[in-house]
Structure 1
Amino acid sequence: MTAPKPVPARDHAALDRTFSQADFNAFARLSGDDNPIHVDPEFSARTRFGQTVAHGALLCSVLRGLVETIMPGGRQLSQTTQYPAPSPAGEVLHFEAETVAETDHGVVIALKVTRLSDGVITCLGQTEVTA
């Protein structure tokens, strides 16, 4: 992959979403990931998070929808994400995707999820997409 060339941010998409425990449960059924940290409030209450938290793949699904807004029909070449903090049920989350660079193959889009209650970033990453 050729090194990204910085460009001014020109494309941006964002939305706010709140997931319920029912959303976590539905995603677990769909994905097969029924880890108790996502679906068992009693178990989760005893963890360092104190409550159930979103699947990383659920957050990435919403972010992928924003990428589609920026580059309709684009093909994803790569993606990296980190989860520095939890995204609990009932919290308003702000999802953002923003074009930050061009490459020989497409564009690099920065990805971010922030808890609105305290401004903490819960997911951070980037994806490269080609037309």
Structure 2
Amino acid sequence: MSLPLGPLFTLEHVPTQAEFELFARVSGDDNPIHVDPDFSARTRFGRTVSHGMLIYSFVWAELRRRFPNAVAKRQTLMFPHPTYAGEPIRITATVDSVAGRLATIAVRVARAADDTPVTDATTVLDLGAA
């Protein structure tokens, strides 16, 4: 498969408290910082924050939609700032390199309001069967 270098996609999403709670249920990570507004109000964040992997799951869903047969070979993830329910995020993916069947995709997720980064990721996909 030939994949050009450069922008791959940009999406916007508004995470919800319901998504935080459902992700806590399926992942088993029910830390109160994600699901308990009263607890979270007393933290430095002042409200619930998303699981980092929930945010990455939005990225992965779009990658799978575009490349349904691709296999993730490796990824790096950093979550430099929190993501809050009700605040839009912008997900931007860029094809950094292609070597044979492997494509390296750089992903940046930022708060739409002020461009504060909430997730930085690199994912290497094997597009062999894509």
TM range (shorter): 0.7 to 0.9
RMSD, aligned CA? 1.8
Do structure 1's residue 96 and structure 2's residue 127 form an aligned pair? no
**Whole-Å separation in 2 of the counterparts to 1:129 and 1:108:** 6
CA contact (8 A) 2:50 2:82 kept: yes
State the identity as a percent: 38
Residue in structure 2 matched with residue 74 of structure 1 by the alignment: 70
Among 59, 65, 73, the alignment partner of 2:61 is: 65
Mapped to 1, the partners of 2:71 and 2:19 lie a distance apart of: 27
**Using the alignment, how far apart are the partners of 2:19 and 2:122 within structure 1?**
25
- List gaps (5 residues or longer) in structure 1: 1-6
Question: Partner letter of residue 88 of structure 2?
Answer: V
> Structure 2, unaligned stretches of length 5 or more?
none
Contact 1:12 1:70 in 2 (8 A): no
TM-score of the pair, normalised by structure 1: 0.87
Q: Provide the secondary structure at the position in 1 that maps to 2:29.
A: coil
Aligned-pair CA distance for 1:125: 1.2
Are 1:34 and 2:30 an aligned pair? yes
**Aligned partners of 2:84 and 2:40: how far apart in 1?**
10
TM-score where L is the length of structure 2: 0.87
CA distance in 1, matches of 2:28, 2:87: 23
For residue 121 of structure 2, what is the aligned residue in structure 1?
125
